[in-house]
Amino acid sequence: MCGIVSYIGERKALPILLEGLSRLEYRGYDSAGIFICSSQENQLLKVAGKVKALQNAFDMQPDIQAEIGIGHSRWATHGQPNKINAHPHVSNNGQLVMVHNGIIENYEVLKSVLMSKGYTFKSDTDTEVLVNLIEDFQKEKEIPLEDAVPAALRQVVGAYGIVLFDQKEPDTLISARLGSPLVIGVGENEFFVTSDAAPFIEYTKEAVYLKEYELAIIQKNHPLKIRNIQNELSVDPYIEKLQWSLENIQKGGYDHFMLKEIYEQPNALRNTLRGRIDTKNSAVQINGVSAFEDKFISAKRIIIVGCGTSWHAGLVGEYLIELLARLPVEVEYASEFRYRNPIIDQNDIVIPISQSGETADTLAAIKIAREKGAFIFGISNVVGASIPGETDSGIYSHAGPEVGVASTKSFTTQVGVLMLLAIKIAQLKNRISPSESFALISELEEIPNLLQDFLENSASIKPIAEAYHEVSNCLY
Ligand code: GLU
């Protein structure tokens, strides 16, 4: 998840981008960047950290007149949250500038093909691969950008919401989406392309929500053009009149962030599973396990450590791993584990779980496990946090940022990761047959849809909640 804000029109772009990014910060906040284009000069500025740091960086130059620009606040999925990996990313010929929200699953294959053609990469992101793939189509096929973008996107497996700027065509933005949201605010001689409507609500209430596989060509003083990426047919833009207030929009129309995050569970789990299951071949692909298969095959025991919600997810993990992989699992509170001189050796795998990747007790537990020679496999949601840096290997849950204090989608995705891990270990240890694997993976793949159906038909829960919300405990 991340925040995208872009503008093309007759106002000064920079304040709109900076304010817009800070309104979208709940979507991602580990690094940020802006590209702006004016007749005098183009400028790209990126920072590690929050949008405030980007604001400070621009404070030095208050009078930037540019009327076109693209901005991004990142929630890293590929590569550390640092300045180099921050968006926008620029293609090898220096012409294309792009921001992206999502995950390009097949980026490694695409990257090696591009490298064999001489492309070089500065960042570790999947995004930089995509912007160069577009450049490659543009150059090789000698086609205009608006044709190169869909051609490149047809090669992509994964999710994207992108906004692209070609320095050779400074009056145009190109945007496309699949799986990540994008909305176009349509004003008088101006357009905004953003992750949700919060950045433009005070300028216009007219909005076109891009649908899956749609590509928009957005030009100053021209009507908006939309095409389908798969069949290239044009689509008539459907303009909606927004009724929402700013606060409403930031919470996606929900009364509370927690409620919003409950409803984000189906997509969060889809992101957890994306690229990691191959139902046809009954396969689970976890890169962090592939390099260490021997460790998982020979381990005598798994010890899961975590605090609060992560500890509870660990309890579910214990059931799953013991049931499927027949490997003994213990689940410990990190805060107790660190103080009680636990018996661990090099035959153990310690799995620290932490949403933030920064939980102090869990970090301390990792240190002890390392001293005692265990192999450490981390589960975290935040790319580049301390825990992923302290472990031997691991996996990200890709839940996106969680604002609500009570954990919802983080827990769901942690359990999703543990299910993947349980199946993978069971397969490595030959504890389940291919047909059992197939059944488990097919059912796992269905869970996001089941969650979605359940949440869409959740009206029947309300009276139950009303009846019982004040009870202090329940037994079931
Ligand atoms: N996959 C991209 C990255 O890691 C985009 C992440 C996002 O949606 O913020 O940079």
Structure tokens at 7: 């503008």
Of 170, 144, 274, nearest in space to 152 by CA: 144
- Domain parsing of the chain, residue ranges: 3-248, 255-468
Write down the pLDDT at residue 197.
87
278-330 pLDDT, tens digit per residue, is 999 999 999 999 999 999 999 999 999 999 999 999 999 999 999 999 999 99
Q: What is the pLDDT of residue 52?
A: 92
The DSSP code for 48 is E
Quickly list H helices, 141-256: 145-153, 246-250
- What are φ and ψ of residue 199, in 5° steps? -70, -20
Indicate if the pLDDT at residue 193 is higher than 90.
yes
What average pLDDT score do residues 119-143 get?
Answer: 96
Distance between CA atoms of residues 218 and 224, nearest Å: 5
Mutational pocket test of ligand 1: of 126, 130, 194, 382, the residue with most ligand atoms within 8 Å of the beta carbon:
126
The answer, yes or no, to whether residue 383 has pLDDT greater than 90, is: no
pLDDT at 62: 65
| Average pLDDT of span 410-438 | 97
The 10s digit of each residue's pLDDT in 61-104 is 767 889 999 999 999 999 999 999 999 999 999 999 999 999 99
- Nearest CA among 74, 78, 26, 50 for reference residue 383: 78
Ligand 1 center from residue 28 Cα (angstroms) = 9
The CATH architecture to which 255-468 belongs is 3-Layer(aba) Sandwich (3.40)
- Residue from 83, 87, 123, 195 to probe ligand 1 pocket by mutation (most atoms less than 8 Å from CB): 87
Per CATH, the homologous superfamily of domain 3-248 is Aminohydrolase, N-terminal nucleophile (Ntn) domain (3.60.20.10)
Q: What pLDDT is stored for residue 142 in this prediction?
A: 87
Lowest mean pLDDT among 114-118, 171-175, 200-204, 356-360: 356-360
pLDDT for 60: 73
Terminal C-alpha separation, the chain? 36
pLDDT tens for 231-255 read 999 999 999 888 777 777 778 778 8
Q: What is the mean pLDDT of the chain?
A: 94
Cβ atoms 295, 287 nearer than 8 A: no
What confidence score (pLDDT) does residue 44 get?
A: 95
Among 127, 129, 131, 381, residue to substitute to test ligand 1 (most atoms within 8 Å of Cβ) = 127
Q: What mean pLDDT comes out for the span 396-400?
A: 92
| Separation of CA 127 and ligand 1 centre (Å) | 7
